[in-house]
Amino acid sequence: MSFNMLVLTCLAYVILLFVVASAAERAASEGRAGWLRSPVIYTLSLSVYCTAWTFYGAVGFAARSGLEFMTIYLGPTLVFVGWWVLLRKLVRIGRENRVTSIADMISARYGKSNLLGVIVTLLCIAAGAPYIALQLQSIAQSFTVFVSDPEGASLAGNPTLIAFWVAIGLAFFTIVFGTRTLDANEQHPGVVTAIAVEAVVKLAALLAVGVFVVWFVAAGPSDILTRIDAQALPEWEIQPGRWTGLILLSAIAIICLPRMFQVTVVENTDDQHLATASWAFPLYLFLISLFVLPIAVIGMELMPAGSNPDMFVLTLPLYLGQDGLALLSFLGGFSAATSMVIVASLALATMVSNHIVVPLWLKVRAARNLDSGDMRLLVLSVRRLSISLVLGLGYLYYVITGGSGALAAIGLIAFVGVAQMLPALLGALFWRGASRTGAALGLVIGMGLWFYTLFLPSFGPGVFLSAQVMEGGLFGQSWLRPYSLFGLTTLDPLLHALFWSLLLNVLVFCLGSFLSFPSPMERVQGALFVNIYDRTGPARSWTRPVAEAEDLLPIAQRILGVSEGQNFFRAQAAVQGKQGFLPDITAEFLEALELKLSGSVGAATAHAMLAQSVGTAVVSVEDLMAVASETAQIMEYSAQLEAKSEELSRTARKLRDANEMLQKLSVQKDAFLSQISHELRTPMTSIRAFSEIMMDSDAMSPEERTHFAQIIHDESIRLTRLLDDLLDLSVLEHGQVQLNIGPVQLRELLDKAIRSSESVQASRKFRILRSRDPEGIEIVTDAGRLTQVFINILSNARKYCIADDPQMQIKVRERKGMVEVDFIDNGAGIPRDKQALIFEKFSRLTDSMQAGGAGLGLAICREIMHNLGGDIAYVPGQGGAAFRVSFPRVLTPRDASRKAARSQAEAAE
């Protein structure tokens, strides 16, 4: 067949696919997508698992290793047959959280960590490159073997060039298919439908070749079985390690491959589809695998030695002259390759744009303080560029490796790469304790080991790792040999890489999770993912129609009030040019409503409420967190209120106390005023009475007159002294007294006081006993005030000491800078119950006030002593009344002011 003819056939096939995809998309946008969303389409789209590797490579695999090729399909079979355990949960979580890719899934689970998104994206790109290279290689090879005309031979003989043009063509094809519009939910009904068509084509092609081989080349099944045993090689012996390991690896791959995640989880619309796929997809794999070994065996039997077994599916019909079958086979292989490339590059492009480019773009815009504007065109451009980039990397891998490897071997390298996501993914689904730190560390370690032990060596010696490193280990350390790390030599390179990378990945993932402490966001997301079935309410999906305005109106009424809610809705309807109360549910309307509601209930709550009722989105964790923090703020506010009210009640208590104090003070003041009144009125009474007597009595003896005048005079003096005392006390109590501090000899003061007090009851003889020597000390104080105190004490003694032979003993003592002067008489002393009262104002022990004291004397003494930094106290049990006056020998102004302050405080109490 001519080269041009082949290219035209490919183009025609692609155009057919494009028409199918467009029709499907139009149908979907017109709401006639019912049949598109059927379980059959879903199952067929899953066949994107079967790539050119399957179509061409499986036969090669079988020719080299016998039944081992089946492991690649048995693993996925087990996963789908056991869908109830894992896939059901994965699909449910993916749909409810509107996950856009496997990177999004892992990043969302671990606290929406973009770091994880970036790591997973990079891993997927790295693992994607060999896989895409595999497709390019198989298409290039198929061209090479197919083209027979000399015209195209020059071109066909250069597989690298073919691979280049295939890469360009596929990039263009994918861009046109996958990025025509930006789907809000990352679902592509057109692409999925086209993939389903391709699934049918490749299955039909492989079955056709198989049927031809079994019934037309061989003589039916039993003949084939005989031929199989005849062709069996010793290498076909099932190796336990590889058998088990590859089944596990392919089981992991069906979950972790980005394109499988895309079709299984992202494009899923209904759990029921998964129920169908649980048996239908294994059946598809069964049918795809059924004729692989027969084709391989017949190829080995008939084809010339040295033919590439990877191309038997194509070369066998050609060799047997079945050109039509060969073309069908070619198209089948082309389908398998293109469907993989389209879905894989779409999935990778989504990751690149969502996790790398857009976050960076937003950061740059934010840094430049620009409005982020409409992102749609940007995202589309990024996707297109990413698709080109992914295909470019695949082409690069193909060029560097020289397109030499067996297809299956290349594919398995990619499998081990994507398998590194398994621990993080399983942790996301089943382990709430899995943390971001653990996931990131595990991924990085696993990825690094995969790179070193499998990916880099796959380029061949001398490209990235020199032959020396391969043989002798990194830095000449033999335990660092890429294919036998830590001296592990019994495993083949693939299992060796799988073992070490996954082992250390899991180990670091677990350790990281044990030792780190997840952020609140991570913990909420973890609970949300792991406990996905515990969520109340129906499962939401984006296919559920959004809420009607009718549903939103009651909410608005509930929050805004009936009339205002209705007015708002009517106004919004009017803005849209509609009558009545029910506007169309547009983004603008929802935004306005949210804004309106947030005025009443707060932004986060309004958003969460609308998100719930509109039903287009699951309430995101960010929403929940915002609600939580808003609630926390409210709680804090109410706590503040509580604290304030506590403070208020404290203040009220203080006020009550103050009030009680004031009332007490008021009572005291009344009592004080009453006392003063009494003390003033008493002498006044005498003065008035006698002055009246003197006024209206004409006949009065001079003696009488003198006597009465004397009384008037005495009482006047008493009155004056009372007023003096009151003023004095007032000044002393308020610490306003001016002290006249100077050095003086104590003896002089005592002498002076004794002389002054002799005027009191001068007729009585008082014996004063003094100790001259201690009295000789020099003191620094206010001499006048101290003398006043002494006089008061001595006078009192003269007044109240009732002993027949009254005497007064004065003792002076100095102790620690304080001088103590004791005045002890030989009278009856002061009864115990009165001792506490004598220093209070207006306290008098008896009312026999010959000298006319108002009861302020000792109160004044106490105030004076406080002002002098000392004190006056009654000392009981001394055989008579005993007063001790104590004061600092040297009075400093600081002492004075402190004592004054103390006395002031006492006065206030």
Partner 1 sequence: MSRPPRPQFLARDSYRIRRLMDAARFLPVFGFVLILLPLMRHSPEAETPPTASEGVYLFLVWFGLVFVAFLMSLGLRRALDAPKEHVTPSED
Partner 2 sequence: MEKRVLVIEDEPNISEALRFILTRDGWKVDVSADGKSMLGVLQADPPDLLILDLMLPDLSGFDILKVLRAGDGTRELPVLMLTAKGQAADRVEAERLGVTRFMTKPFANAEVIAAVREMTAP
Q: Which chain residues interact with partner 1 by CB under 8 A?
A: 66-67, 70, 74, 77-85, 225-226, 228-229, 232-234, 236-238, 240, 243-244, 247, 271-272, 275-276, 278-279, 282-283, 286, 289-290, 293, 533-534, 536
How far, CA to CA in Å, does 73 sit from each of 51, 250, 288?
12, 7, 9
Q: What backbone phi and psi angles, to 5 degrees, belong to 485?
A: -65, 140
User: Which one, 276 or 675, has the nearer CB to partner 1?
Assistant: 276
Q: What backbone phi and psi angles, to 5 degrees, belong to 181?
A: -130, 165
The listed partner (partner 2, partner 1, none) that binds 671, CB under 5 to 8 Å by sort, is: none
CB of 243 to partner 1, least distance (A): 6
User: Which one, 679 or 825, has the nearer CB to partner 2?
Assistant: 679
Amino acid at 551: D
Which residue from 118, 127, 113 is spatially nearest to 512, judged by alpha carbons?
113
Taken in order 483, 484, 489, 490, is the CA torsion positive or negative? negative
Which residue from 9, 392, 397, 33 is spatially nearest to 183, judged by alpha carbons?
33
User: Which one, 773 or 847, has the nearer CB to partner 2?
Assistant: 847
Quick one: tokens of 857? 């004397």
Residue in this structure with the two tokens 């997927």, named with its chain if needed: 124
CB of 213 to partner 1, least distance (A): 15
CB of 509 to partner 1, least distance (A): 23
User: Which one, 212 or 690, has the nearer CB to partner 2?
Assistant: 690
Does residue 840 belong to the site contacting partner 2 (CB under 8 A)? no
Give the per-residue contact string, 779-818, with partner 2 (x = CB under 8 A; - = no).
----------------------------------------
Q: Which range, of 90-98, 537-545, 845-853, 873-881, touches partner 2 by CB under 8 A?
A: 845-853
CB of 889 to partner 2, least distance (A): 41
Pairing state of beta strands 807-815 and 767-770? parallel
The listed partner (partner 1, partner 2, none) that binds 279, CB under 5 to 8 Å by sort, is: partner 1
The listed partner (partner 1, partner 2, none) that binds 682, CB under 5 to 8 Å by sort, is: partner 2
Non-local CB neighbours of 773 within 8 Å, separated by 6+ positions: none
Measure the CA–CA gap between 306 and 823, rounded to whole angstroms: 137
Interacting residue with partner 2 among 544, 558, 678, 755 (CB under 8 A): 678
Burial class of residue 675 (count of CB atoms within 10 Å of its CB; 0-12, 13-18, 19+):
middle
Amino acid at 703: E
The terminus-to-terminus CA distance of the chain in angstroms comes to 119
CB of 76 to partner 1, least distance (A): 11
User: Which one, 223 or 622, has the nearer CB to partner 1?
Assistant: 223
How far, CA to CA in Å, does 701 sit from each of 688, 710, 712?
20, 14, 17
Does residue 666 belong to the site contacting partner 2 (CB under 8 A)? no
The listed partner (partner 1, partner 2, none) that binds 873, CB under 5 to 8 Å by sort, is: none
For 713, other C-beta atoms within 10 Å of its C-beta total: 12
Interacting residue with partner 2 among 682, 745, 761, 835 (CB under 8 A): 682
User: Which one, 25 or 679, has the nearer CB to partner 2?
Assistant: 679
How far, CA to CA in Å, does 886 sit from each of 436, 728, 743, 836, 891?
77, 21, 17, 18, 12
Amino acid at 361: W
Q: Which range, of 459-467, 493-501, 588-596, 846-854, touches partner 2 by CB under 8 A?
A: 846-854
User: Which one, 369 or 848, has the nearer CB to partner 2?
Assistant: 848
Amino acid at 766: F
CB of 711 to partner 2, least distance (A): 5
Interacting residue with partner 2 among 689, 754, 873, 907 (CB under 8 A): 689
The listed partner (partner 2, partner 1, none) that binds 741, CB under 5 to 8 Å by sort, is: none
CB of 838 to partner 2, least distance (A): 16
User: Which one, 242 or 747, has the nearer CB to partner 1?
Assistant: 242
Half-sphere exposure of 48 (CA within 13 A, CB side): 32
User: Which one, 372 or 677, has the nearer CB to partner 2?
Assistant: 677
CB of 189 to partner 1, least distance (A): 23
Burial class of residue 907 (count of CB atoms within 10 Å of its CB; 0-12, 13-18, 19+):
middle
Interacting residue with partner 2 among 534, 805, 833, 847 (CB under 8 A): 847
How far, CA to CA in Å, does 833 sit from each of 563, 848, 856, 882?
81, 19, 19, 15
Residue in this structure with the two tokens 């003041």, named with its chain if needed: 669
Quick one: tokens of 226? 């005989």
CB of 860 to partner 2, least distance (A): 22
Show the DSSP H helices in 453-542 as ranges: 467-472, 493-515, 520-530
Window 711 to 740, contacts with partner 2 (CB under 8 A): 711, 714-715
Size of the site for partner 2 (CB under 8 A): 24
Quick one: tokens of 501? 């990378």
Show the DSSP H helices in 212-270 as ranges: 221-231, 240-256, 258-261
The listed partner (partner 1, partner 2, none) that binds 687, CB under 5 to 8 Å by sort, is: partner 2
Quick one: tokens of 511? 């350790």
User: Which one, 241 or 462, has the nearer CB to partner 1?
Assistant: 241
The listed partner (partner 1, partner 2, none) that binds 653, CB under 5 to 8 Å by sort, is: none
User: Which one, 367 or 695, has the nearer CB to partner 2?
Assistant: 695
Does residue 687 belong to the site contacting partner 2 (CB under 8 A)? yes
Non-local CB neighbours of 324 within 8 Å, separated by 6+ positions: none
Q: Which range, of 89-97, 448-456, 551-559, 843-851, touches partner 2 by CB under 8 A?
A: 843-851
Interacting residue with partner 2 among 226, 633, 668, 685 (CB under 8 A): 685
Window 690 to 709, contacts with partner 2 (CB under 8 A): 690, 692-693, 696-697
User: Which one, 85 or 836, has the nearer CB to partner 1?
Assistant: 85
User: Which one, 242 or 844, has the nearer CB to partner 2?
Assistant: 844
The counts of H helices and E strands in the chain are 38, 7
Q: What backbone phi and psi angles, to 5 degrees, belong to 2?
A: -75, 150
Q: 814 - beta bridge partners? A: 819
User: Which one, 288 or 387, has the nearer CB to partner 1?
Assistant: 288
The listed partner (partner 2, partner 1, none) that binds 97, CB under 5 to 8 Å by sort, is: none
Residues making contact with partner 2 (CB under 8 A):
674, 677-679, 681-690, 692-693, 696-697, 711, 714-715, 846-848
